């Protein structure tokens, strides 16, 4: 069951990272005029936050699928980052006020946004932290690649 969860988490991270980078490339190629106007509004946010986050997701997804030990640490760091981002976004959403003609009231949008952000950016990363908190040999390494099975020049037995 844990290997299935590991595969699903790795695949999800891989798909999120690849689709985020693909969205950036396709957005630039297809909607160049809109994209350039968007870039003039927030020039550094795109390259300082979005692109590194998508690359981080992509590389961590590949590492989780390949069962690398560094990917477990990267996944834990990513989970903490997402939890902190979720807390900031939920706080910002609940302190903003908006008046306009919407089909839903602002209170309904706040509740829906808070629940969605809580599930995506706090609950799922907490689950991931609990799942990958302990080093589990059978989860991260194959049976043929364990350190005990490899010959060593310091093995005097």
φ, ψ of residue 37 in degrees (nearest 5): -65, -40
| Whole-number Å distance between alpha carbons of 42 and 26 | 18
pTM of the shown model: 0.68
Domain residue limits at 82: 69-142
In this structure, are 57 and 103 located in the same domain? no
Confirm whether 93 is domain-assigned.
Answer: yes
Confirm whether 44 is domain-assigned.
Answer: yes
Position 99 scores a pLDDT of 66
| Whole-number Å distance between alpha carbons of 111 and 117 | 10
C-alpha of 124 from chain center: 10
Position 55 scores a pLDDT of 92
- How many domains, in total, are found in the chain? 2
Position 92 scores a pLDDT of 85
In this structure, are 130 and 98 located in the same domain? yes
**Last residue of a domain, which of 22, 42, 66?**
66
Position 62 scores a pLDDT of 93
In this structure, are 54 and 88 located in the same domain? no
In this structure, are 83 and 35 located in the same domain? no
In this structure, are 47 and 79 located in the same domain? no
Confirm whether 5 is domain-assigned.
Answer: yes
Residue-level length of the chain: 157
Both tokens of residue 83? Answer: 């939890």
CB 128 within 8 Å of CB 57? no
| Whole-number Å distance between alpha carbons of 20 and 51 | 8
As averages over each run of 10 residues, the pLDDT of the chain (157 residues) reads 84 88 81 71 71 90 90 90 88 77 72 86 85 64 49 52
């Amino acid at each position: 069951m844990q290997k299935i969860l590991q595969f699903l988490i790795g695949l999800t991270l891989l798909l999120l990272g690849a689709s985020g980078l693909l969205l950036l490339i396709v957005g630039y190629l297809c909607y160049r005029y809109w994209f350039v106007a968007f870039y003039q509004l927030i020039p550094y946010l795109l390259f300082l936050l979005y692109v590194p986050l998508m690359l981080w997701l992509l590389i961590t997804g590949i590492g989780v699928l390949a069962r690398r030990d560094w990917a477990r640490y990267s996944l834990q760091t990513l989970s903490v980052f997402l939890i902190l981002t979720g807390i900031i976004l939920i706080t910002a959403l609940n302190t903003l006020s908006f008046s306009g003609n919407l089909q839903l009231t602002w209170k309904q949008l706040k509740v829906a946004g808070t629940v969605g952000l809580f599930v995506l950016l706090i609950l799922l990363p907490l689950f991931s932290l609990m799942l990958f908190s302990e080093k589990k040999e059978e989860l991260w390494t194959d049976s043929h690649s364990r350190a005990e099975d490899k010959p060593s020049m310091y093995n005097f037995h």
